[in-house]
Structure 1
Amino acid sequence: MALELPDLVIHQILQFLPTKSAVRLSFLSKQWEGVWSSAPIIDFDEGGEDGNNNLSQHKRFVKNILSRYLEFLVEKEKEKQGLEKFKLHMTRYLSGDASIVTKLLSSSFERGVKELDISLRVSKSQWDHWSGMKNYNNLSPMELINAKSAARIKNYYYFSRTALANAKSLTTLNLGSVRIKNISFKECSTSTCLLPSLKSMSLKKVHFDKEALFYLIRECSCIEYLSIISCSFKDGEFRVSSSSLKSLQVEHCDSFAIQVDDAVNLESLTIVSDIGPPQLPNFHSIILKDCFNLKCLHICAPQVKVFDLDGCHDVKGTIDAPLLDSITFKGYLSSKLSLKAPNLSMTRIVLFDKWDSEAATFNSRPWNHFTTLSNFLEEFGSSKTLDLYVSDFKALMFPKNFRKTLSSPIFPSLKKLYFSVKNPPRKMNKELSDSLYWMAPDVLFIKNLPWRIRHRPL
Structure 2
Amino acid sequence: MKRKGTGINTARRKKKSKKKEDDENENTSGMVVDTYRSQLPDLVVERILSLISTRLAARASILSKQWARLWLSVPVIDLDEDGATPREDQRSKFMNFMRRYLKLRDKDTCIDKLRLRMRNLGGTVTITKWLTFAVERNVKELDICLVRTKSGQRYKPLYLSKTLLLKSTKSLTVLKLENVIVDLESTDGIDLPSLKTMTLKFVEFRTRLPFLRLLSRCPLLEYLLLNGCTWPSSQLKLSSSSLKSLQLAPDSSQIISKVKAVNLESFIIHCFHDILPFIKNISSRSCQKIRHLEFGYSTEMRSSWFEDLDLRFPHLERLILRRCQEPLGERIKISSEHLKYFLLFSDSLMSGLLCMSTNFPNLSEAVIILGSNVPRHISMDPIRRMLQLRDFLGQFDCSRKVSLHVSDAEV
Which bracket does the TM-score occupy, shorter chain normalised? 0.5 to 0.7
Which digits, 9 at most, give the CA deviation of each residue in 1:402-425, with x for residues without a partner? xxxxxxxxxxxxxxxxxxxxxxxx
The structure-2 alpha-carbon separation of the partners of 1:318 and 1:222, relative to structure 1 and needing over 3 Å to count, comes to same
Alignment of 1:212-223 (within 5 A): 212-223=210-221
Alignment of 1:83-232 (within 5 A): 83-90=111-118, 92-96=119-123, 98-122=124-148, 127=153, 155-167=156-168, 168-181=170-183, 183=184, 187-190=186-189, 192-193=190-191, 195-211=192-208, 212-232=210-230
Alignment of 1:45-60 (within 5 A): 45-47=80-82, 54-60=87-93
The structure-2 alpha-carbon separation of the partners of 1:227 and 1:82, relative to structure 1 and needing over 3 Å to count, comes to same
Instruction: Check whether the contact 1:256–1:284 (CA below 8 A) recurs between aligned residues.
Output: no
More helix by share: 2
Which is worse superposed, 212-221 or 284-293?
A: 284-293
Alpha-carbon distance in structure 1 between the residues aligned to 2:275 and 2:145: 27
Structure 1: which 5+ residue stretches go unaligned? 129-152, 276-281, 325-332, 343-370, 372-458
The structure-2 alpha-carbon separation of the partners of 1:285 and 1:127, relative to structure 1 and needing over 3 Å to count, comes to farther
Structure 2: which 5+ residue stretches go unaligned? 1-29, 329-335, 345-351, 353-358, 360-411
The structure-2 alpha-carbon separation of the partners of 1:318 and 1:188, relative to structure 1 and needing over 3 Å to count, comes to closer
Instruction: Check whether the contact 2:181–2:205 (CA below 8 A) recurs between aligned residues.
Output: yes
The structure-2 alpha-carbon separation of the partners of 1:239 and 1:29, relative to structure 1 and needing over 3 Å to count, comes to same
Alpha-carbon distance in structure 2 between the residues aligned to 1:117 and 1:216: 17
The structure-2 alpha-carbon separation of the partners of 1:27 and 1:84, relative to structure 1 and needing over 3 Å to count, comes to same
Which digits, 9 at most, give the CA deviation of each residue in 1:355-392, with x for residues without a partner? xxxxxxxxxxxxxxxx9xxxxxxxxxxxxxxxxxxxxx
Instruction: Check whether the contact 2:136–2:167 (CA below 8 A) recurs between aligned residues.
Output: yes
- Counterpart in the other structure of 1:392: none
- Counterpart in the other structure of 2:293: 297
TM-score normalised over the length of structure 2: 0.56
| Equivalent residue letter for 1:94 | L
TM superposition shift of 1:198: 0.8
- Counterpart in the other structure of 1:271: 269
Alpha-carbon distance in structure 2 between the residues aligned to 1:302 and 1:15: 46
The structure-2 alpha-carbon separation of the partners of 1:265 and 1:179, relative to structure 1 and needing over 3 Å to count, comes to same
| Equivalent residue letter for 1:297 | L
TM superposition shift of 1:255: 4.9
Alignment of 1:274-353 (within 5 A): 274=272, 285-286=277-278, 287-288=281-282, 290-300=286-296, 301-302=298-299, 312=312, 314=314, 316=316, 317=319
TM superposition shift of 1:265: 1.1
Instruction: Check whether the contact 1:221–1:244 (CA below 8 A) recurs between aligned residues.
Output: yes
Picking from 78, 84, 99, the partner of 1:67 is 99
TM superposition shift of 1:309: 11
TM superposition shift of 1:63: 1.3
The structure-2 alpha-carbon separation of the partners of 1:84 and 1:49, relative to structure 1 and needing over 3 Å to count, comes to closer
Alpha-carbon distance in structure 1 between the residues aligned to 2:291 and 2:126: 44
Instruction: Check whether the contact 1:263–1:291 (CA below 8 A) recurs between aligned residues.
Output: yes
Instruction: Check whether the contact 2:132–2:164 (CA below 8 A) recurs between aligned residues.
Output: yes
- Counterpart in the other structure of 2:384: none
Alpha-carbon distance in structure 2 between the residues aligned to 1:259 and 1:71: 47
Alpha-carbon distance in structure 2 between the residues aligned to 1:14 and 1:272: 40
Alignment of 1:435-450 (within 5 A): none
TM superposition shift of 1:294: 2.8
- Counterpart in the other structure of 1:240: 238
- Counterpart in the other structure of 1:82: 110
Instruction: Check whether the contact 2:235–2:255 (CA below 8 A) recurs between aligned residues.
Output: yes
The structure-2 alpha-carbon separation of the partners of 1:188 and 1:236, relative to structure 1 and needing over 3 Å to count, comes to closer
Secondary structure, aligned partner of 2:167: coil
The structure-2 alpha-carbon separation of the partners of 1:27 and 1:44, relative to structure 1 and needing over 3 Å to count, comes to same
Alpha-carbon distance in structure 1 between the residues aligned to 2:84 and 2:63: 30
Secondary structure, aligned partner of 2:199: strand
Alpha-carbon distance in structure 2 between the residues aligned to 1:309 and 1:219: 35
| Equivalent residue letter for 1:104 | W
Which digits, 9 at most, give the CA deviation of each residue in 1:134-170, with x for residues without a partner? xxxxxxxxxxxxxxxxxxx7x2012232221122111
Secondary structure, aligned partner of 1:177: strand
**% of aligned pairs identical?**
32
| Equivalent residue letter for 2:130 | L
| Equivalent residue letter for 2:144 | I
| Equivalent residue letter for 2:79 | F
Secondary structure, aligned partner of 1:68: helix
Picking from 67, 72, 81, the partner of 1:37 is 72
Instruction: Check whether the contact 1:297–1:318 (CA below 8 A) recurs between aligned residues.
Output: yes
Alpha-carbon distance in structure 1 between the residues aligned to 2:256 and 2:78: 35
Alpha-carbon distance in structure 1 between the residues aligned to 2:41 and 2:314: 56
Residues paired across the two proteins, number: 287
Instruction: Check whether the contact 1:26–1:36 (CA below 8 A) recurs between aligned residues.
Output: yes
The structure-2 alpha-carbon separation of the partners of 1:227 and 1:254, relative to structure 1 and needing over 3 Å to count, comes to closer
TM superposition shift of 1:241: 1.6
Instruction: Check whether the contact 2:61–2:68 (CA below 8 A) recurs between aligned residues.
Output: yes
Mapped pair 1:259 → 2:294: no
- Counterpart in the other structure of 1:454: none
The structure-2 alpha-carbon separation of the partners of 1:258 and 1:11, relative to structure 1 and needing over 3 Å to count, comes to closer
Instruction: Check whether the contact 2:160–2:182 (CA below 8 A) recurs between aligned residues.
Output: yes
| Equivalent residue letter for 1:16 | I
Alpha-carbon distance in structure 2 between the residues aligned to 1:243 and 1:171: 17
- Counterpart in the other structure of 2:407: none
